[in-house]
Amino acid sequence: MAFTTMVGARIRRREDPRLITGRATYVDDVRQVGTVYAAFVRSPYGHAKITSIDTAQAKSDPHVLAVYTGEDLHHAHNLKASLPVAHKMPDLKTPPHYVLALDEARVVGEAVAIVVADSPYTARDAAEKVVVEYEQLPAVVDIEKAAAGPPYVHESLGTNVAFTMPFSAGDPDKAFAEADVTIKQRIVNQRVAPVPIEPRSMVASYDAGMQQLTLYSATQIPHLLRTQLAIALGLPENKIRVIAPEVGGGFGAKLNVYAEEVVVSWVAMQLERPVKYIETRSECFQAMIHGRDQIDDLEVAAKNDGTITALRLKITANMGAYHQLLTPVIPTLTMLMAHGCYKFENIAAEVVGVFTNTMSTDAYRGAGRPEATFFIERAIDMVAQRLKLDPVDVRRKNFIASSAFPHTTATGLTYDSGDYETTMDKALAIIDYAGLRKQQEELRKQGRYLGIGISTYVEVCGMGPSAAMPAAGWDSATIRVEPTGSITVLTGVSPHGQGQETTFAQIVADELGVPIDHVSVIHGDTDKVQYGVGTFGSRGTAVGGAALKLAIDTIQAKAVKIAAHQWEANPDDVEYRDGKMQVKGDPSKSMTTAEAGFLAFMGDKLPPGLEPGLDATRRFEPPNFVFPFGTHICVVEVDAQSGEVKFVKYLAVDDCGRLINPMIAEGQIHGGIAQGLSQALFEEVVYDGNGQLLTGTLMDYAIPHAEQVPHYELDHTVTPTTVNPLGIKGIGEAGTIGSTPAVANAVIDALAPFGVVHIDMPLKPEKLWAAMQAVPSNGSVR
């Protein structure tokens, strides 16, 4: 790529004018004549038998068009009333997950009936008139109690254990026997809620004449959703159109196939009216997937010099009451990334997935990798604390050397490229680490508690090779050079804030030599765009962008043939230079992509045998994942009187390879850090023992305000990858993965003088204050 003006530039996003002026169209902004509105009746109990449902009163409401229950749907022609889970796990228990509860509800908020009325207000009124009688059943919320025995979430399974996956590599027992020190620690990674500001939203309509279903949904995966709807509704897939218009945040929570999407689609078919359902925030807390929720029991073996030799690990993961699309896959990613950026070879691990009467867990920003990074980065600090070493030195001692890439870990992943020490050294220099440690020591003498937390993360993303994914891992791009020179890009990924309308246009503008405003990037409509897998797992640019590059290559190759024919030259002698074609070494004649596109449209001056038209559809199958990495350093002061945590500094030095638009990459890191630090300090989904959700509104569940987060100082290093033709790695999740342990390590470091070894998140002031008053003998605070 010789000609570059756009790639690497901080240009304003091309999607923004409509967003800042209120002219964008989110699902709730879709207006269709004749629309009716759905409300769901949901279980108020964590576990209950449904003994009767009386819909008569609701049905007699003149505003109501229809009421359907689980029983109605269960017997409906063609409807497959159970939801999918994508996995390749042979022994996974997959109990039915009905789109409306059939005779038992297993989680608070499980949909029991749907009411359709002439306005959103009347629909909710009528939902109140559906009389459901429940017989409460014993609920189980605690993962360990659930794993141990009854009561069972699914009585027919006779267990709450959904799967057990053991793993072993090297000789961990020998390493433990020979260790100078061993450290044992339970680390709880609490349940959190994704909270995109736009809740789940959908409107379905059915054209009976064309036998065509159209579903607008706030989804990250329009095509995968279409495929699953075809299966669930018994419709041919070519009769379903899924549109993800503007989507107001996803963070993994909209990477799913939700019961409501199936039910609303089915109801639209029955009524032949557009049916709209916009959930309330309270419903969103109950019925949108949650993230994390693992107990990680860890044992580390180390030598006196800080070298880590082995890890024993038991991951007990809460599945919730049912599997959603990727529920059981998430904790397996934790196990795969248990190494972090360290080279130890002995590992014994076990993952246990457990059903409880709670909402399903699934992919939430980082999806399994934040949990791994959290425990391994905490483990490094615990080793340093025990051996009275600097945590920086322990990291340095255990890093995979930059010369050792590609590096295959004991868990079987091949890290593509990395230079962990350079990134860490850059961060230490920027923040003046030595100076900070000195300052910390002085402040401690004054009774002030400064904490310095480091996290050197690596994560697996750019999901991913199809062989290693629960379903397809490739993605697609089409480029069309239109007759008058503008360029249409159709991408299979489905951005919802990541800015690919801009970054993809930057790539095309450079490579095909057109002004950026001549490039239009279309996504999120299965009737416009060729099949694509969607946006998740930091794959949008690393996989979708790579497909775009392949399509550019095909366009260029054909354009070169067209130009060569005009000039009676050998195509091998024609090249793209500075965005134009010319005969090698002869700048006197040149042709633009647009000119070649026009000739390809006219069709009469093409070389014999060359088809008219200048367009290409290509797919990229990633040969491997990509592994971005970085060093986050957080400095906090913990108030000895109140336990409050005050941010002093936050620095992130990340490496995601080559940057297409640094401004957009930084934005991804900012947002990621905020979500990660918020898990460390504020966020926690809480159910009581009966499975009642106690954090069901934004009044009870703390996502941070502007005042509660610090200024983030960013820098980066560039270590390209050869996994894709753009040399880039994903950056969507890295901030979240890196930040949580940096913040926790900082807070725990601040409290080290009190003998604190570990504190479980969220690190709330009352917990920290209590720890400063009396630390348990093992140094571990729950």
Partner 1 sequence: MQIDLTVNGKQTFIDVEPRLLLVHALRDSLNLTGTHVGCDTSSCGACTVLLDGVSVKSCTVFAVQASGHEVTTIEGIGTADSLHPMQEAFWTAHGLQCGYCTTGMIVSAVDLLKRNPDPSDDEIRAGLEGNLCRCTGYENIVKAVRAAGAAMRAGDPRHSVNELMPIHPPTVEPPPSGEAIIPQQLQEAKV
d(C-alpha 470, C-alpha 87), whole Å: 5
773 CB contacts (<8 Å, ≥6 apart)? none
In a 10 Å sphere around its CB, with 0-12 CB exposed, 13-18 middle and 19+ buried, how is residue 621 labelled? middle
CB of 517 to partner 1, least distance (A): 5
Specify the residue, 236 or 662, whose C-beta has the smaller distance to partner 1. 662
d(C-alpha 667, C-alpha 675), whole Å: 13
Residues 167-196 that bind partner 1 (CB under 8 A): 195-196
Of 538, 462, 539, 534, which is closest to residue 491 (Cα–Cα)?
Answer: 534
Identified binder of partner 1 from the candidate list 326, 507, 664, 743, rule CB under 8 A: 664
Neighbours of 694 (CB within 10 A): 11
CB of 751 to partner 1, least distance (A): 25
In a 10 Å sphere around its CB, with 0-12 CB exposed, 13-18 middle and 19+ buried, how is residue 151 labelled? middle
CB of 167 to partner 1, least distance (A): 34
Identified binder of partner 1 from the candidate list 75, 77, 445, 705, rule CB under 8 A: 705
Q: Mask 682-701, x = binds partner 1 (CB under 8 A)? A: ---------------xxx--
Cα–chain-centroid distance for residue 712? 21
Q: Which residues of 105-133 are buried (b: 16+ CB within 10 A; e: fewer)?
A: bbbbbbbbbbbbbbebebbbbbbebbebe
Identified binder of partner 1 from the candidate list 60, 121, 442, 722, rule CB under 8 A: 121
Does position 672 interact with partner 1 (CB under 8 A)? The reply is: yes
d(C-alpha 564, C-alpha 262), whole Å: 53
Does position 20 interact with partner 1 (CB under 8 A)? The reply is: yes
d(C-alpha 467, C-alpha 371), whole Å: 24
**Tell me, what DSSP letter sits at residue 543?**
I
Identified binder of partner 1 from the candidate list 667, 720, 755, 762, rule CB under 8 A: 667
**Tell me, what DSSP letter sits at residue 545?**
I
Specify the residue, 483 or 613, whose C-beta has the smaller distance to partner 1. 483
Of 599, 605, 570, which is closest to residue 584 (Cα–Cα)?
Answer: 570
In a 10 Å sphere around its CB, with 0-12 CB exposed, 13-18 middle and 19+ buried, how is residue 563 labelled? buried
CB of 11 to partner 1, least distance (A): 9
Does position 421 interact with partner 1 (CB under 8 A)? The reply is: no
Contact 695, 701 (CB under 8 A): yes
Identified binder of partner 1 from the candidate list 59, 281, 396, 561, rule CB under 8 A: 281
Identified binder of partner 1 from the candidate list 46, 70, 172, 199, rule CB under 8 A: 199
Does position 594 interact with partner 1 (CB under 8 A)? The reply is: yes
CB of 233 to partner 1, least distance (A): 29
In this structure, the chain runs to a length of: 782
Does position 12 interact with partner 1 (CB under 8 A)? The reply is: yes
Contact 223, 533 (CB under 8 A): yes
Residues 514-543 that bind partner 1 (CB under 8 A): 514-515, 517-518
Specify the residue, 218 or 229, whose C-beta has the smaller distance to partner 1. 218
CB of 700 to partner 1, least distance (A): 9
Specify the residue, 467 or 706, whose C-beta has the smaller distance to partner 1. 706
d(C-alpha 99, C-alpha 112), whole Å: 9
> Which among 296-304, 339-347, 465-473, 703-711 is the span making contact with partner 1, rule CB under 8 A?
703-711
d(C-alpha 693, C-alpha 746), whole Å: 31
Q: Which helix (H) or strand (E) holds 148?
A: helix 143-148
Specify the residue, 210 or 706, whose C-beta has the smaller distance to partner 1. 706
> Which among 12-20, 166-174, 235-243, 299-307 is the span making contact with partner 1, rule CB under 8 A?
12-20
What one-character-per-residue DSSP string does 157-201 give?
A: GT-SEEEEEEEEES-HHHHHHH-SEEEEEEEEEEEE----SS--E
Specify the residue, 247 or 310, whose C-beta has the smaller distance to partner 1. 247
Residues 602-661 that bind partner 1 (CB under 8 A): 602, 604
Residues 249-278 that bind partner 1 (CB under 8 A): 249-251, 278
Residues 562-581 that bind partner 1 (CB under 8 A): none
Does position 673 interact with partner 1 (CB under 8 A)? The reply is: yes
Strand spans (E) along 346-486: 346-355, 407-408, 414-415, 449-458, 475-481
> Which among 101-109, 209-217, 587-595, 773-781 is the span making contact with partner 1, rule CB under 8 A?
587-595
Q: Mask 482-501, x = binds partner 1 (CB under 8 A)? A: -xxxx---------xxxx--
Identified binder of partner 1 from the candidate list 17, 96, 150, 689, rule CB under 8 A: 17
CB of 24 to partner 1, least distance (A): 6
Q: What is the largest CA-CA distance in the chain?
A: 86
Specify the residue, 383 or 731, whose C-beta has the smaller distance to partner 1. 731
Identified binder of partner 1 from the candidate list 215, 232, 247, 302, rule CB under 8 A: 247
d(C-alpha 159, C-alpha 154), whole Å: 8
What does DSSP say about strands 758-759 and 780-781: parallel, antiparallel, or unpaired?
A: parallel
Identified binder of partner 1 from the candidate list 205, 506, 592, 740, rule CB under 8 A: 592
Specify the residue, 278 or 616, whose C-beta has the smaller distance to partner 1. 278
> Which among 382-390, 546-554, 664-672, 679-687 is the span making contact with partner 1, rule CB under 8 A?
664-672
Specify the residue, 164 or 280, whose C-beta has the smaller distance to partner 1. 280
